[in-house]
Chains A and B, each alone.
Chain A
Amino acid sequence: MAAPAIRTSKLTKDYGLGHGLFDLDLEVSPQEVFGYLGPNGSGKSTTIRCLMGTIRPTLGTAYIFGLDCQRDSVAVKHKVGYMPGDMPQFGSLRGKEVVAYLGGMRGGADPKIVRNIAERFDLDLGRRFREYSSGNKKKLGIVLAFMHRPELLILDEPTGGLDPLNQQEFYKLLRETRDAGATTFLSSHILSEVEHVCDRVGIIRSGRLVKVAELDEIHRIRLHRLEIEFAPSTEVPEAAIRAAAGVEDVVTADQSVTCTVKGTFDPLLRALNGATVTNLVSHERSLEEIFLTYYRPDEPADSMR
């Protein structure tokens, strides 16, 4: 039986004062796209750094394809493509030189992949790093992570700074990579992002993994604030909206309704049946708001399991 792509056991990095990562038990299967979701400062990057062997866990173990992330860190990195949350400064080096420099360190990059990704994201590798916008720096990070056909991609908030079109291109690239057999571990603090591409999602809060969910479970805990405007000739179906499953905090004013929707939109859409909607705006709520809605702030994180 093949070893899990990622396996951690009681993985802990204690920075003191309750900061860090605690007792992380996690398993990611080969060829899975695993989303690692959590608010800022929840321990996502700490987990990734433990996996990459750049920080030493206080307790516990982490394995990638059966290799110890600390003891066998060099061997691990042969299999991994890594993209940090923030790209470091490469000053006056050109993009192509950064690719060659880091590609040289890992014994070579696949020029076809480099060209393919640079073209898809329209990243001019002839320009100097300091001339790159933050989005272009992210794109360079994508090239660096994918350029050697890694078996496992570890990506720390990879889409931050990318415009929506490039985000879509990135999701497409991830799906292609999964189809080619690679595993992806992707951190994010945006629920809708992981929904796009992930098979499973782990949610971390205050350094503790509070839930590992399949995609349909994630759909259930999603939370949106909706603003609906009805045509003047239409009667607002207020009672049906209030009665719809998952719809809360309904406020009506003339021909408009605002409400919060938990989970899927199906019940609400059924409630709107027959009414003429002239405008509908949906805002995804932040992870923090989702936590506050589903779980009281003083509730222990374990109760979310």
Chain B
Amino acid sequence: MTAIRLALRLGRWGLVGFSGVAFIATFINAAGFYAIAGHTQAEREAFARSFAQIASQLTVLLPPATRLDTVGGYVQYRAYGSLAIVFAIWALTSAGGAARGDEERGIVEMVLATGLSRARATAARIVAFAFACFIAALAASLGFILGVISGNETFSIAPSIEAAVLLAALAMSCYSLVLLISQLLAPRFAMGLAGAVLLGLFLLNSLSRTFDSLATLRWLSPFRYYELSQPVSPGGTFDVQATLVLIGIAVVAGATATLAFTLRDLGAALFALRTAAGPPTYEGSSALIWRIPVIRGLYDRRVGLTLWAVGVSAIGILFVILTKAIVQPLLAIPGLAQYFAVFVHGAIYPSFLSYIWFGFAQLLLAGFAITQVARWSAEDTDGRLELILGNPVSRTQVLIERATVLAVGALIIAVVSGIAVGIETRNQAIDIDGLRLAEASLLLVPFSLVFAAVGALLAARLPRATVGILGVVTFGSYLMLQFGPIFKLPEWVQDLSAFKLYGQPLTNGVDWSGLVIMLAIVTAGFVASAVAMKRRDVGA
């Protein structure tokens, strides 16, 4: 019980943050439904028809929508579809931290030294996460119910509880899978591989909706079992068998992870390449690269940056292929071709690519910025910043170097993925303006810097809470784009969303005012963080 309490204590910010995100996601969607769908049945059916067209374009990411004329169907699609991704990310970070992060900090060693067996220690972490994610999933249910109440409607409690169980089961299966993968490899590779596996399983399921060849493999993906149930959608079902499969994955992967943990040395991987022990080295590295500011930071992050650049490029290529696969059949329908000619002036491919690829790329680059900010925060809390400041470098220099490393890193990812997308559009015979593609790709750099600037300010003031708050800010920024127009928020408030400021550069060109505002936010954020950084205590 003590071990479970400790595990909950270690993950309390995740519990609070993700519960908040889950609550807001369902509440704002439920409340938003009444603002946009109208109140008569005819209005809602009309809304459902138009929204279903948008939803059909997004089946690459989200499950197909049903009963969009009801608040349940709308929230099932809009909120619970996205929450599956959010909870999977939570599972990834939480399990990675539990398996390897706490081990590096010596927490696991201390826990085991109390006489707790490895099996019980692992079980405690799994149980604690199960409890935490169920609470967060219940927060989503609460948000949904309160949202429904705000629309003066009523809703049965049971389906929202089923939705919570389903969401928690998915998160648990992802958690146990990550826990298992984390045992296998060295810490510096484990998180990358675990993230790639989860992304692969997610894409396997979502792409199987478009590519029939993948349909036979989708049983491998936990996300498949998640989307078999649609409990809050009227007429939807709660597939008990599929939910049990998710719980089964969690149990089997958790048990295997426990076994792997008992078989490996603390701090080591279960499978490690044995390297021949060479003679000891008593000299520092003579590589010039460590002496050059910014370059040394990039070199230090070389593995991560390479993974990001390759990963984002691969997803970009995939989205181009999807664009072709989805749009081509649509253009074959004479009525739709006419519709596209009128509304998107014939530029259907760029419009679609802009919507699905650059929409997703923004999320990825925001994620990249958050990971870098998390590193700044970790440098602060583990004492690395204090040691760095023991050298003749000013705090402002440290901040500038950090920001530049992040900017160059984002630039590398943007350029590499832009080139990859450009090449693939040619391969797919998609006509796209090269200059616009370059602009859209490069615009991802100031976009990611917006989050970096906010993160730098947070890291300067509240290093221990930075990542959680920045995650909420990012989520809020995304919600602002989605719900600002629905709730008729003032234009200046909507302009605070980096997602809105980015605009649609692939189809409409660069939104210069948006770019200027982004740069202003970046400048203000970093200047403020420089001031805050100068005034604060480090290492106290």
Contacts and interface: CB of A to CB of B under 8 A. Distances in A.
Nearest to B105: A89
A126 B539 contact: no
A111 B284 contact: yes
A115 B282 contact: yes
Contacts, number: 135
Contact of A102 (B267, B378, B388): B388
Contacts of A74: 392-394
Among A75, A90, A105, residue most surrounded by chain B Cβ atoms (within 10 Å): A105
Interface string A108-138: 1101001100110011111000100000000
A274 B537 CA distance: 61
Size class of the contact patch on chain A:
35 or more
Interface stretch (B286-294, B340-348, B462-470): B286-294
Given A49-B540, A77-B392, A104-B292, A93 B104 contact: no
Given A49-B540, A54-B539, A125 B284 contact: yes
Contacts of B216: none
B300 interface: yes
Interface stretch (A80-88, A201-209, A239-247, A256-264): A80-88
Contact of A89 (B104, B278, B290, B388): B104
Contacts of A92: 186-188
B424 interface: no
B283 A84 contact: no
Contacts of B535: 56
Contact of B392 (A78, A96, A97, A124): A78
A236 to B, nearest CB: 44
Interface of chain B: mostly helix, strand, loop or mixed? loop
B390 A126 contact: no
B540 A55 contact: yes
Contacts of A106: 391-393
B284 A100 contact: yes
Interface stretch (B25-33, B379-387, B402-410, B480-488): B379-387
A97 B390 contact: no
Interface string B244-284: 00000000000000000000000100000000001011111
B296 interface: yes
B384 A90 contact: yes
A181 interface: no
Contacts of A294: none
B539 A84 contact: yes
A130 B103 CA distance: 11
A67 to B, nearest CB: 11
Interface of A: 15, 46, 49, 52-56, 73-75, 77-78, 80, 82, 84, 86-97, 99-109, 111, 114-115, 118-119, 122-126, 130, 144, 147
12 contacts: A54-B390, A54-B537, A55-B540, A78-B392, A80-B390, A88-B386, A96-B281, A102-B387, A105-B388, A107-B392, A125-B281, A144-B387
Given A87-B387, A102-B391, 13 more contacts: A49-B386, A54-B386, A56-B535, A77-B392, A92-B186, A100-B290, A103-B284, A104-B291, A104-B296, A108-B291, A115-B283, A125-B282, A130-B267
Interface of B: 104-105, 186-188, 267, 278, 280-287, 290-292, 296, 300, 378-379, 382-384, 386-394, 535, 537-540
